[in-house]
Structure 1
Amino acid sequence: MKKSSIIFMALALSLGLSCKEDKKETKEVEETVEEITETVEETIISFRMEPKSDSNVQGMVNFVEKDGMVAMSATFSGLSPGEHAIHIHEKADCSAADGTSTGGHWNPTAQPHGKWGDAAGFHKGDIGNFLANEDGSAEVSFETDAWCIGCGDPNKDILGKAVIVHQGSDDFTSQPSGAAGPRISCTGIIE
């Protein structure tokens, strides 16, 4: 009888240790999966730009949010060669032929218009200028942690806003919009 009790206890102890090891391994696997999920988690929105103000400017804009950063990349065609301004405007409404239905620059923190990062202030929508080459095409890229996609923070969330390309360049000083000229391409950022 004693021998069977000892065997039974040894077996129970062995199974108990085995279960603890299994639980430990399971927890390690779950933590690894969570880390991988956090690393891969990203939000992507893409949309086409439409011509405005009798222009032929078209393009594609992508926003990708990953690890607390939002990256914007855009390609355009139909531009006149030279510098053009690009901004985020306050309303996702491109219905007006001249793009004015998008309202002013997105400025949730009530700052003066300026160059991105300027200590004197700038709008959250003041992306800046880009250069179109001789054939009228251009690429733009921009990255910031001051934006988010769908986070609900009114000072950071770009959903419900519009992207506007202007005929001219932004002078970064004229208030409230940088004297960049007509709005020649538009799209709304829709969820």
Structure 2
Amino acid sequence: MDKTCPEYDIQKIFSMYNPSKPNAYAQIKGGPLASCIKGTIYLYQLEDGVYVKAYITGIPNTNNQTSSFHGLHIHEIGDCTVGNKNDPFTNAKSHYNPTNAEHPMHAGDLPPILSANGIGILSVFTNRFTVDEVIGKSFILHEKYDDFTSQPAGNAGSRWACGVITYY
């Protein structure tokens, strides 16, 4: 074994994880541009970060593909009112970014979710925020994938779905 590699005790990292007891969640629902989207995103506070699990259905196919990536971000405000039908969920404001970092290093930047036949499942661990810090914020699912380059938010396209993060 390479002595320069850190040791990770997966049992310890996930010792606080109980799949039936998330600390917070968001019910995500599609807006006027993708009304069939629905799903649940769970957040679990662990010792060294947050485990995020997303289950989303009804994601439209893009570019006649049965599989496509979509940006998934935490936004500043927990307001999922539709507002403008052509540009929904703008009241959620921009990505959650308490340290004013450049994209893609915002606390609210998450990996894109892959949709296959309209179903997207994501499982990710992050240490960029705690559950308590994102209560009252919102998850936004975007039309396109995040390019991880364009400023300020990755050029992920229209906001298709939104869900407010609340305690479980």
For 2:58, the equivalent position in structure 1 comes to 78
1:158 lines up with 2:134 in the alignment:
yes
Equivalent of 1:147, from 124, 129, 132? 129
Matched, 1:176 2:156: no
The ranges of structure 1 where at least 4 consecutive aligned residues each deviate by more than 3 angstroms after the TM superposition are 39-43
User: Does the aligned pair in 2 maintain the 1:86–1:128 contact within 8 Å?
Assistant: yes
1:130-177 deviation line (CA, Å, top 9, x unaligned)? 2111x2101011112222122xxxxxx111210000010111111111
Partners of 1:62 and 1:160 in 2: CA distance: 14
Q: Give the one of 24, 32, 35 matched to 1:53.
A: 32
**TM superposition score normalised by structure 1:** 0.68
Q: Which amino acid aligns with 1:71?
A: Y
Q: Which residue identity is paired with 2:93?
A: G
Distance 1:48 1:163 in 2: 9
TM-score, length of structure 2 as denominator length: 0.76
How far off is 1:96 after superposition? 2.3
Residue 138 of structure 1 aligns with which residue?
A: 120
Equivalent residue, structure 2, for 1:68:
48
Structure 2 CA distance for aligned equivalents of residues 185 and 95 of structure 1: 11
Partner of 1:28 in structure 2? none
- Structure with higher Rg: it is 1
CA apart distance, 1:69: 2.2
Which residue does 1:127 correspond to in 2? 110
Give the CA deviation at 1:40: 4.9
- Provide the C-alpha distance between the structure 2 equivalents of 1:40 and 1:113, rounded to a whole number of angstroms: 30
Give the alignment partner of residue 80 of structure 2, picking from 88, 91, 94. Answer: 94
Structure 1 SS opposite 2:156: coil
- Conserved? CA contact 2:17–2:44, under 8 Å: no
Secondary structure, counterpart of 1:88 in structure 2: strand
Deviations along 1:105-136, whole A, 9 cap, x unmatched?
0111001112xxxxxxx111110212111x21
2:91 is paired with a residue of what secondary structure? helix
The 2-side partners of 1:64 and 1:178 are apart by 26
Pick the structure with more helix per residue. Answer: 1
Match of 2:96 in 1: 106
